[in-house]
Chains A and B, each alone.
Chain A
Amino acid sequence: MVLFTGQRGTGDAAPDPSSGAPGTGGYRRLNRRCMISIYINYGIWYAILLAICTFLATFSQNLSDPYYEIARLALLGVPAAVLVYVVVAPPVFYTRYRYRITDDRVEVRRGVLVIRHTLVPIERVHQVEITRGPIKNLLGLADVAITTAGGVATINYLELEEAERVAELLNKLIGEMLRERLQAPASSVTGSADE
């Protein structure tokens, strides 16, 4: 059963925790504001890349001719290719990003070049954390980090209120699971216990 599937595509309407958008398999999309956050983030990294390229361009002038040609091509080509990615990637990221939380699992589908599908059973969740950097803070966005004993999955660029509701829901599900275990008789569990 889909318990919570985030917000609707535009982000203008109030999130409806009971259902996803029709025909999406219960998956929900991010708020469009996520693109602003990604553009700002990419912009910062691109400025750092340009600074490095400028430094290298200055340095490479001392190289002999054939090396200089290669360096010059690389210093023009790499920022140009990265610029294309920086411009194109955020809308693609936004369009592809989907997530859903059911009573037994968290799923996230994401990716620009490589599309990833992450599945985390609720049973494996150890910790839920809301994180916000300065840019996301300005835009009222936050990430939800879901820690398991083998790695961390994240749901990125949620509105703060929604991030809190997602974290609350996950904590509630984990709490219910633990309460059920405490109430369950020992004999109901197969195998021997070591803890």
Chain B
Amino acid sequence: MTGRDRETPARSSAAREQSTDDRAAADHPGTATRTGEMEIWGKRVRCHPGIIVEKTLPFASILFILIITLVGRPAAAAALAVVFIAVVFINYRIWSRTTIQFDDTGVVVERDTIFKRKKTIPYSKVASVNINRGITNRLLGTSSLLININSGSGATVPEAVLTFEQDLAESIRSAILHRLYTHSEDQDDGDEPVEMPALFSPLDVILHGLFNVSTYQTLFGLFFLVYSVFQFYVSAGTDGGSTGAVVSFLIFAAMLVAPIVSQIFYYYNYRVYRRGDTIYLQHGLIRSYRTSFDVSRINAVRVKSTLAARLMHRSCIEAEVVGLASGKGQSLRPVLCLLKDDATQQTLLRELVPEFVYDRKPKKQPEGAARVLLIEAGAASLALALVMIYPSIYLYRRAMTATGIAGLTMPYILPVITISLILAIFYAVYVSYRITDLDLGDNLFSFVNGAVDRETVTMNYDRVQMVVTAKGPIARLFDVARSNIYLLSSIGGSSITSGYFHESDLNAIGEIVMERIASGDYDYRKNSL
């Protein structure tokens, strides 16, 4: 019922009676992989042996660091070396006893180690087949083939990750896509000249990396940077005391620098285009990623802009796509447009996903929502003030003895920060009330949310799996509620939340879904798993 094929507990008798040729192919994977996709079709093969290195390397690096720290203790280092050999052996055994068979109806991945399992992935249930190439893949000339199915909720990892030589992986992907999308194989050839709806320069990638990090994350990161600089300044000329500065700087690096650099590397050489009903996407500097998916797999489209991006009149587009897990988290919501000027973003939206463009007639939140938001802001402000009282008094007493600028500013810095934050909370509430809206179209509906980082989420009624409307004690007083919309396999069962509206307005979403099912407007063949 779920569309996810269950693993069978043991190898079937039919599999045991495989042909001699198949056994030979499995025993000599190098031969099979060199001779190309047609040679392996229908035969049982193994992954490229490079997968052993790929799986061992992360563990090896941890062990290497541990062994270095145990230089003076050879017995412990030897024990770790034994552990390392055991890991290599286990990965070798898993590789040697795992076979893959691409047949006419699906992919069969069979493992016969301590745990026997046989996983059958029918092509009819495959949602996407993607290529991932990390550093290890590049060194070994391989590619990882990520096969995703139309899985149920909670699907954050691919159904199968198979490593083959690069050319073979490409040809297998192409062959499976041919079965999925019924377009010719050469249409998926990345080398063929393609007219791009928009070009993304390295500057666009850098700007996306810099300004697509959430504003709150940026502010926290900058706070730790400022604190770090302050600590360095205070501890200058003293023998110690810079540990706090180093820790703060490391937090800043982890919270802000690392995500920015990671995004820049991840989206380097970004290309996106659409052919027929298929959207193609590729990017990546160190780890290259290629994917394609049918437009019918998109549940919702988000137009997003952080505060900084809005000041530059830039926004980006993300899609929620069924069955596009990469196991890396980032590509669960593929980006259809990096941060670009709003006009280009709108053009791309119309060219890539016109199915999610409609004439919006939004409804603003009712007055009751403003009161609820104000009470929530008041409660948050009170909590913040209570939390800050003691540290403020403590810092005031300590800093009163300081001289110079520190003596003048430090005693009052926490109260000033607290008051600023409270003002910011109330301003955010005002903006949130002003911009949040709800629009119920004929085929699509949308929410606009976010006081600081804004997003417009356009959803398809036919992808709604569940509607949960919630009314807290304060919301009940003012006759408003919020809804959580659970879409078809959107990231791990997460939901999309509306603003505060009258319950009847929110209930209309579920009623429209029901009406579409009853009237036949809903096409189950397009939307079922």
Interface residue? A70 (CB, 8 A): yes
B152 touches A147 (CB 8 A): yes
Q: Which of B1, B152, B526, B529 sits near A174, CB closer than 8 Å?
A: B1
Q: How many residues of A contact B (CB 8 A)?
A: 35
Whole-angstrom CA separation of A194 from B126 in the bound complex: 11
Kindly list chain B residues whose C-beta atoms are within 8 Å of the C-beta of A164: none
Binds A, one of B64-72, B78-86, B263-271, B461-469: B461-469
Q: Which of B2, B473, B476 sits near A127, CB closer than 8 Å?
A: B2
Kindly list chain A residues whose C-beta atoms are within 8 Å of the C-beta of B503: 117
By DSSP majority rule, is chain A's interface helix, strand, loop, or mixed? mixed
Kindly list chain A residues whose C-beta atoms are within 8 Å of the C-beta of B489: 149-150
Binds B, one of A10-18, A131-139, A185-193: A185-193
A120 touches B296 (CB 8 A): no
Whole-angstrom CA separation of A123 from B510 in the bound complex: 13
B14-56: CB near A (< 8 Å → 1, else 0) gives: 0000000000000000000000000000000000000000000
Whole-angstrom CA separation of A174 from B1 in the bound complex: 10
Query: Chain B residue with minimal CB distance to A128?
Result: B1
Whole-angstrom CA separation of A123 from B526 in the bound complex: 13
Kindly list chain A residues whose C-beta atoms are within 8 Å of the C-beta of B124: 195
CB distance from A128 to the nearest CB of B (A): 9
Kindly list chain A residues whose C-beta atoms are within 8 Å of the C-beta of B520: 188-190
Q: A104-B514, A195-B124 are known contacts. Are A123 and B469 too (CB-CB below 8 A)?
A: no
Kindly list chain A residues whose C-beta atoms are within 8 Å of the C-beta of B466: 118-120, 124, 148, 150-151, 153
Whole-angstrom CA separation of A118 from B121 in the bound complex: 33
Kindly list chain B residues whose C-beta atoms are within 8 Å of the C-beta of A147: 2, 152-153
Interface residue? B115 (CB, 8 A): no
**Which of B471-529 touch A at CB < 8 Å?**
471-473, 476, 486-490, 493, 495, 503, 507, 510, 513-514, 517-518, 520-526, 528-529
Kindly list chain A residues whose C-beta atoms are within 8 Å of the C-beta of B493: 150-152
Q: Which of B1, B470, B487, B514 sits near A115, CB closer than 8 Å?
A: B470
Q: A123-B522, A149-B465 are known contacts. Are A115 and B296 too (CB-CB below 8 A)?
A: no
B468 touches A117 (CB 8 A): yes
Kindly list chain B residues whose C-beta atoms are within 8 Å of the C-beta of A117: 468-470, 503, 507
Q: Which of B296, B495, B525, B529 sits near A149, CB closer than 8 Å?
A: B529
By DSSP majority rule, is chain B's interface helix, strand, loop, or mixed? mixed
Q: Which of B296, B488, B495, B510 sits near A119, CB closer than 8 Å?
A: B510
A105 touches B465 (CB 8 A): no
CB distance from B153 to the nearest CB of A (A): 5
Interface residue? A114 (CB, 8 A): yes
Kindly list chain A residues whose C-beta atoms are within 8 Å of the C-beta of B468: 116-119
CB distance from B508 to the nearest CB of A (A): 11
Q: How many residues of B contact A (CB 8 A)?
A: 44
A150 touches B486 (CB 8 A): yes
Query: Chain B residue with minimal CB distance to A109?
Result: B469
A181 touches B467 (CB 8 A): no
CB distance from A146 to the nearest CB of B (A): 9
A193 touches B473 (CB 8 A): no
B1 touches A150 (CB 8 A): no
Whole-angstrom CA separation of A153 from B510 in the bound complex: 15
Interface residue? B112 (CB, 8 A): no
B469 touches A105 (CB 8 A): no
B487 touches A189 (CB 8 A): no
Q: Which of A113, A119, A123, A150 sits near B153, CB closer than 8 Å?
A: A150
Whole-angstrom CA separation of A36 from B503 in the bound complex: 32
Interface residue? B188 (CB, 8 A): no
Q: Which of A120, A174, A192, A193 sits near B465, CB closer than 8 Å?
A: A120
Query: Chain B residue with minimal CB distance to A191?
Result: B523
Kindly list chain B residues whose C-beta atoms are within 8 Å of the C-beta of A25: none
Interface residue? B167 (CB, 8 A): no
Kindly list chain B residues whose C-beta atoms are within 8 Å of the C-beta of A150: 153, 463-466, 486-490, 493, 495
List 11 extra interface pairs beyond A115-B471, A150-B495, A191-B523, CB under 8 A.
Answer: A114-B472, A116-B469, A117-B507, A118-B467, A118-B468, A120-B465, A126-B2, A148-B153, A151-B466, A189-B523, A191-B526
Chain B residues engaging chain A, CB cutoff 8 angstroms: 1-3, 124, 152-153, 294, 296, 390, 463-473, 476, 486-490, 493, 495, 503, 507, 510, 513-514, 517-518, 520-526, 528-529
Interface pairs A-B: 8 shortest CB-CB: A150-B465, A193-B525, A150-B486, A148-B465, A151-B486, A119-B510, A191-B523, A151-B493
